[in-house]
Structure 1
Amino acid sequence: MFSVPIVDISSYVDPNGSPADREQVARALDIACGGVGFIQVIGHGVDPAITEGLTTALDEFYDLPLDRKKRYARPGENRGYTPPKSESLSMSLGVPPANRMNDFYEAFTVGAEREWYQGVDLPESSYSDNTWPAAAPSFQPAVLAWFAAAREVSRVLLTAFTDALGLAPGYFEHMIDYSIDTLKMNNYTLPEGEIELAGELTGMGAHTDFGILTVLWADRVPGLQVLDHEGVWHDVQPADGALLVNLGDAMARWTNDRWRSTVHRVDPPVVDGRILRRRSAAFFFDGNFDAVIETLPGCARTDHPGYPPITVADNINAKLAGMKAGIAPEGAEREARRVLAAG
């Protein structure tokens, strides 16, 4: 029976959490990351008011007319507004969709800027300045509050992951002190007449995430599907108050597939010819741009050669080129075969 395990991480959120409780959490995370690859996290400590502020801000922006939202687009960049059918996430694995740029969702992306990390020489390509929509006044403060909360959850989880992998405390600290953190906020429904709903409809194409881990808030509306190890798609909805967490390609590479970045997609729920409203906000905790992803201590196997070393930025940029420009990345053959076999 497929299920996404629920793990209470409150003992790691609490700086005085007991070692015994933390050991139990680390064991549960190891089992989840090596199996399903998705986790429902509770006890995460995020104030519900911050989540409510985020949803209000998303509604304020996405309720604007499409032509007004497009004023905040930055084509080809991983910032700002993305109109519907201008990306294809399956191409981040080199799997072409039925129509070249077919993903129906619209999105708004913000991320860490160079000025956030003083005293470090950082490339603008990975740490671009953000665009903020003046037409939605509540957007920037609410999104930044959620960004900070999701970032804290990510760092708490990485501490627990470090224990789960049997690594020395603080093992990853020098790889995340100027992390390329990105928040992509998605909307899966539009007013009638704004886009033609013809042919095969893909909410968000099958893909893996690119970095260390993803913290996802989503409406409790059907749509998210996860691909299991037998090539079968399963519907996943977050439990009340839970955050969904999944691993990215960086962690799969680091662990030499002891833990996997699980393939997932979104099929927008259609009822009586209309798409139900579905919103989500995915925080991508990616690591420093120059951190090298190579097999971690204890994860080498003679029967499973490790991935070739690659920097965090090079890995992300290759996947983004597939998603935004249709250029198939190298090294994604395993995930691509799984998606193609599932259909």
Structure 2
Amino acid sequence: MSQFEVPTVDISAYVVDGSPGDRAAVAQAIDQACRSVGFIQIVGHGIAPETAAGLAGAMDDFFGLPVADKKRWVRPAAENRGYTPPKSETLALSLGVQSEKRMKDFFEAFNVGSSASDYPQDHLLADHYAENTWPEVPEFQQRVDAWRDEVARVARIMITIFEDALSLAPGSLAALANHPIEVLRMNNYALPSGTHVEVDEDLIGMGEHTDYGIVTLLWADQVKGLQVLHDGTWHDVSPADGALLINLGDLTTRLTNEQWLSTLHRVKPPIVDGTIERRRSAAYFFDADAEAVVGPWDSFVSADHPRLYDDVTVDEHIRAKLAGSRAGVRNASAQRENAWVAATLT
């Protein structure tokens, strides 16, 4: 079994305007982590512990409601907002992975994100910028929005670090995100009290997948479940105290012509005495503007590294991914990803 460790990087030099040398050291560490693992723990991000506690409390208050109450906030799949009941999605299909044994993913979620009303001066593609639905849970919106504001700030900092780490012109990556598709997905891996399951190797909390956009920032419990594939082996990953987990998305893979790869990951629900142990996470997806055109940048294409991807709009890319995970339509446009996943899972 290969040695595996998720690198920890202190990004405070970018948060508090550190010296050029300190910022260069951070950028170098991020570049090395993105080339070797694709998952990173960041500390020094400046998000107060009480803000994270507020998010966790809001999630507990909502997911603790009866299932019938939560289903009041189910939204059309194309809008990517509101409540997702358990066994509603198969994330592996977003990568084109298909199997006769493929089961629906065993998690529930609640999604909020950027809305068209946040950018009244722009004419946006409505499906990606749907208005949010807020459940009738005291202080839910306030606590969630407090987290969203902070994690959005950190996402923008990561974009700046990525530009430096990849030796890009300042603002070149940020230019793809004037009104980015942003989704905060709050996940709950548990069953109602007293519900038992058959322990089976095929039981999946969230199927193997890569994220869709530029970067994902993840808050999670320190409960086993999240696994990252590295050198053909699945490894458990849990955040350190106060850390956020960062991973790359498919758009970054396309932009860098696979110099940085989005990392395959999944969630296997922890089973204790025949029941699923509670585990919570909140993934913030930063996915660029819907109309932005993404393909390998010239600086990452050469005779030794030919162009691996055609240009695609972020809208087209996200639609194909969501059609797989939510509508069960195998993503036929993910040939490279499908072949890579098939090779690593055999």
TM range (shorter): over 0.9
**Counterparts in 2 of 1:192-231, with a 5 A limit?**
192=193, 200-228=202-230, 230-231=231-232
The aligned runs of 1:226-245 (5 Å cut-off) are: 226-228=228-230, 230-245=231-246
Secondary structure, in 3 states, of the residue corresponding to 1:288?
A: coil
Tell me, in whole angstroms, the C-alpha distance in 1 between the residues paired with 2:269 and 2:335.
26
Q: In 1, are the aligned partners of 2:199 and 2:274 still within 8 Å (CA)?
A: no
Q: Distance in 2 between matches of 1:163 and 1:20?
A: 12
Q: What residue number does 1:187 align with?
A: 188
Q: CA deviation at 1:271?
A: 1.3
For 1:249, the equivalent position in structure 2 comes to 250
Q: Does 1:104 align with 2:106?
A: yes
Task: Report the residue type matching 1:85 in the other structure.
Answer: K
Q: Cα distance 1:215–1:328, how it changes in 2: closer, same or farther (>3 A)?
A: same
SS state at 1:216 partner: strand
Shift of 1:118: 2.3
1:280 is matched with 281
Deviation at 1:111, TM superposition (A): 0.8
Partner SS for 2:126: coil
Shift of 1:198: 7.7
* Equivalent-residue separation in structure 1 for 2:5 and 2:152 (angstroms): 26
Pairing partner for 1:89 from 88, 91, 96: 91
Structure 2 SS opposite 1:125 = helix
Paired letter, 2:27: A
Deviation, structure 1 residue 302 = 2.3
TM-fit CA distance, 1:167: 1.0
The alpha-carbon deviation at position 272 of structure 1 amounts to 1.2
Q: Counterpart of 1:126 in 2: which secondary structure?
A: helix
Alpha-carbon contact 1:88-1:97 (below 8 Å) kept: no
Residue 73 to residue 99, structure 1, CA distance change in 2 (3 Å): farther
Is contact 2:257-2:296 (8 Å) kept? yes
Corresponding residue of 2:38: 37
Deviation of 1:193 (Å): 6.0
SS of the residue corresponding to residue 218 of structure 2 reads: strand
Give the conservation status (yes or no) of the 8 Å contact 2:195–2:275: no
- In structure 2, the residue matched to 1:166 is 167
Where do 1:1-343 residues align within 5 Å? 1-14=3-16, 16-77=17-78, 78-96=80-98, 102-134=104-136, 136-192=137-193, 200-228=202-230, 230-306=231-307, 307-340=309-342, 341-342=344-345
**Aligned mates of 1:123, 1:257 — CA distance in 2:** 28
SS in 2 for 1:261: coil
Q: CA deviation at 1:139?
A: 1.4
Deviation at 1:231, TM superposition (A): 1.8
TM-score by length of 2: 0.94
1:227-280: CA deviation from partner (whole Å, max 9, x where unpaired): 11x321111111111000000000000000000000000001001111111000
The one-letter code of the counterpart of 1:170 is G
- Cα distance in 2 for partners of 1:305, 1:76 equals 36
- The 3-state SS of whatever aligns with 2:123 is coil
Deviations 1:261-307 (A, max 9, x none): 00000001001111111000000000111111111242113244321
Which range moves more in the overlay, 240-249 or 230-239?
230-239
Give, in angstroms, the shift of residue 336 of structure 1.
2.6
> How many residues are matched?
340
Secondary structure at the aligned position of 1:239 is classed as: coil
Q: Which runs of 4+ in 1 moved over 3 A?
A: 97-101, 192-200, 337-341
Cα pair 2:160 2:174 within 8 Å, conserved: no
What is the CA distance between 1:329 and its match in structure 2?
1.5
Q: Distance in 1 between matches of 2:195 and 2:117?
A: 37
Q: Is the 8 A contact 1:183 1:282 kept in 2?
A: yes
CA RMSD of aligned residues (A): 1.6
Matched-pair contact (CA < 8 Å) for 1:179–1:287: yes
Displacement of 1:196 in angstroms is 6.2
- d(CA) in 1 for partners of 2:55, 2:129: 22
Paired letter, 1:283: Y
Amino acid paired to 1:37:
G
1:233·1:342 contact (CA, 8 Å) conserved in 2?
no
Task: Supply the distance in 2 between the matched residues of 1:197 and 1:339 (Cα, whole angstroms).
Answer: 27
Please, which runs of 5 or more residues in structure 2 have no aligned partner?
none
Moved more, 292-301 or 276-285: 292-301
d(CA) in 1 for partners of 2:208 and 2:116? Answer: 31
CA 1:74–1:22: 2 relative to 1, 3 Å = same
